[in-house]
Structure 1
Amino acid sequence: MEKQQPIIFVRYYVIFLIIFGILLDRHTLNSISIIFILIYIINNQLRFFSFSKEIYKIGSYFLELILILVLYEKVGGYAFTYLILASIDANVIFKFPLSIIFDAVVIGEGIYFSVPETIACKMYTIGSITAIIAILLFVKQQETRKIQAQDLYDKLRVSEKKLIEANRDLESYSASIEELTVLRERNRISREIHDSVGHALSTIIIQLGALEKVSEKSNPSANSRIKNLREFTQKSLAEVRNAVREIRPEKYEEYESILELKSLIDNFKKMTGVEVRLTVTKDKWALSQKQFLTVYRIMQEFLSNSVRHGKASIIRILMNFTEYSLVIILEDNGVGTATVSKGIGLKSIEERIKEIGGSFYYNTSPDNGFLVNVEINRNEKIKIYLSNSGGAEPDGKD
């Protein structure tokens, strides 16, 4: 149990009773008696408030048990008050099984003190000490259960918080994947319509134009129908092209680089079986060729190192497009490492970033996973921050 105010008050009250009993039992005290009393009180207070190591507390408690015998025999007082304080400390300071052992020793001293007394006094002393110990054990048990319940509640709260965060990540991941899938499918459909239906209608228009010229003199009535059919087909082709423009994502070049990165991730997942979650914000802008190639190589290197060196099983990637920059967060649950030596992979990333005016920093520690924060400005200036790593390249490996 914790050193709470009620316990402290009870201890000081019992110490007061011990001193008061000594004064009542022995009217005259010499210097040696006072020294023993001071040693007893100082030892008791040091054990309760100052000693942190278990071995010091145990030694102090055994010293107190000896001092109780000396004080009761040589100085006087009431054995009952000595044993109450010893019982309190046995159950407040020490844990099972030491508390039970010291309780047994306290009861043993109670039996020793009651030997010269009458049977009724013996029963009263031993019964009282036993009852007090039983109460202390009960209170300690309830306090332990309370602490365990609080610990369990705290763990549940932490688990709930992690579950909420994981659910939020999964929702973002699911939304991003769904958005990218829809974009890719819309682009595929628009391309298929353009290449198949559009091409067929264009061919029909060309053929109808040729027939219209042939029939212009030989068959004027057929020529008029062919002309109407050609014009109708041209309108149909225009409508098809409008539909293709509607289906095709607006400013599709903004999504092409993301779809390329998603293809990289999908292939990586198929090859390794590692779970990779890609989340992309709705607002996007097109990456330049240098920016895309740099991001592609960083992501490629991160995925590779997370598996080879970090032994990761889950990788999370967030692409956050803002008005002026793109922030990419790459994180895995790898094993981490105490030191990182730059291999070919990290040196290659550093060179690519320097080429577009960027820089990067990193650190790592064991069992903390690997986190990379990449910031790309639209003017192609890159800053990279690496921290808490598990997927970095340890010991100079590539």
Structure 2
Amino acid sequence: MEEKSTNKNQYEITGVTAQLFYLMQLFNCLVIMFFTLVTAHAMHGFILEGNAFHLITKCHATIVYWKIPVVAGILYISLLFLLSIECTNHIELIVKLWLEIMIGAGIFYYTGLSYTVMVLLILADIVRNRIDWGKKIVYIVLLSCVDLVLNGNVLSRYISPVSVSQIWNYYRSDVAAVFSGAVNIMFLIDVFIFILYMVFLILEQMSEKERIAALYRELSIANEKLAEANKQLEEYTEELVSAAETRERNRFAQEIHDTLGHALTGIVTGIEACIMLMDIAPDATKDQLKAIEEVARQGITDVRQSVKALRPDALERLKLEDALLKIIDETMRSTGITINYNCTTPLLDFSQYEEDAIYRIVQESVTNAIRHGKADVIDIDIGREDGFLNIKIKDNGIGCGKVYKGFGLHHMQERLSLLNGSLKYDGSHGFTIEASIPIRWGNSVEEKED
């Protein structure tokens, strides 16, 4: 609010300064018109009375009377044109200043009007240019010297302007006094306008300096805030990088645990079965060993795939439900246990992260049931209810009185947390795991179910 008020005041001061400069130009035009017309009228009167010789000898008037206002008007228009030009460097300003001095001297010579009138106008033009004050002072001193030389008749032997006081003797003394008084008043008004112009110009420059200072202060504050924000951003970036590295390490460990854990569990259980069957049913043992070999090879493939892309190989080649059926079939063949799979909803339109989570939850639950629970029957139920996909995996193993969240359960919880899901488990009668994941695929499932 304060900055807007400052800008508004500055614009108002700038507008007043410009108006005063134009007022000086207009007022000087009126002064020149009045002065030259009165002079030309007096000269014409002398001529009509047959006193042309008096004009030449006493008044030093060798100019045709009607030429005085015409030439003065042309010169003043030229001066106004120069005043309208804004200079951007020292060379332009010095050329423009000398042209203005010469035009002012021409007006002084043809009209006899005091050169100070033109000096004030040229001074106003000098100070409004945006150059340093050191050069402005030099120009002001130069202009003042020219004014002293011309008004002091120092060059009277070379330059003889029209003697206005002698020409105005044509009028009665009282009329001439009125004309002289009017010119003096006009001169004082011109000086007064010039003083006002300088006052408002100084106020404008002070206001501009204050605005620049305010902008500098705001810029300094903004730089400090920016530096602080950059520092916070760097700290936050370091935290994000550290968190990303931690998540990636955890995910990698989780993938390796799930892949190797499932494969090794199947191999160990299958080998135990082979030891029991070796003497009783050699042929069944061979079939069991072949199934173990397939599980081992698939485990190697999954490990390689996990290292490469951290995604199960089965999900790269198959749809989610086909991948689940494949892992269930391989587990039953290699271990000899029974797995009952029941899915009442299509497993379609899941994202990669959701598919990975569902697959790993089933894989890890089956692995834990075999490794820790010593189960021989596992029930897997997948269904949809109230906008959630529910996965329930129950086994008939030994269970446990108090559940300690190990590596597998911990990683299940992490996967579900990333999907805003939940995990429940119970070890009182065998072991039961219930996972719930928010459904993200809209109404497509309902349409497919219908």
Please say which structure displays the higher CA radius of gyration.
Answer: 2
> TM-score, normalising length from structure 1?
0.41
Instruction: Kindly indicate whether structure 1 or structure 2 has the higher relative contact order, using CA contacts under 8 Å at least 6 residues apart.
Output: 2
